[in-house]
Amino acid sequence: MEGKNILKLSHVLAFLLLASLFQSLMARDLISDGIEVLQLPVENDGESVCPGKQSWPELVGKSARYAKEVIQKENPIVTQFTLLFPGMPKPAAYICGRVYLVVNWKLIVQVTPSMG
């Protein structure tokens, strides 16, 4: 029993020694080193930093193919479409130029398409 405790203690000590060798990596350190850091879009006074139209409520009930054509026509920066089914979670990463289309099994838009 005592041997297992010593082994656990040695693992904890090894972890702490290794952890003390690493520096924390912060974005401000990268910027000061001249490395470009990707910044997520934020809203300034309610306005998104992504240019152009952000959502298309008029496309609910239309086909996904038609919605894609309209969205690309109204906002040329949109290059990626992600199809989701109702109830599926959206990824947390916000990307300008990506639109989520929530569709049913007939590929009819069910929820207002939005940039993200």
Bin 22: left if φ > 0, else alpha if -120 < ψ < 50, else beta.
beta
Give a yes or no: residue 36 inside a domain: no
Q: CATH number of the domain that 69 lies in?
A: 3.30.10.10
Dihedral of CA atoms 29, 32, 37, 40 in degrees, nearest 10, equals 80
Give a yes or no: residue 12 inside a domain: no
Give a yes or no: residue 34 inside a domain: no
User: How many other C-beta atoms lie within 10 A of the C-beta of residue 1?
Assistant: 4
Give a yes or no: residue 97 inside a domain: yes
Task: Give the range of the structural domain holding residue 104, as residue numbers without chain letter.
Answer: 57-115
Look at residue 28 in the predicted model and tell me its pLDDT: 56
| Tally of structural domains, the chain | 1
Q: What is the model's pTM? A: 0.57
92 vs 18, more confident: 92
Kindly report, residue by residue over 70-104, the tens digit of the pLDDT. Answer: 999 999 888 888 888 888 888 878 888 899 999 99
Which residues on neighbouring strands pair with residue 109, listed in sequence order? 103
Kindly report, residue by residue over 34-73, the tens digit of the pLDDT. Answer: 655 555 555 555 555 788 888 899 999 999 999 999 999 9
Give a yes or no: residue 89 inside a domain: yes
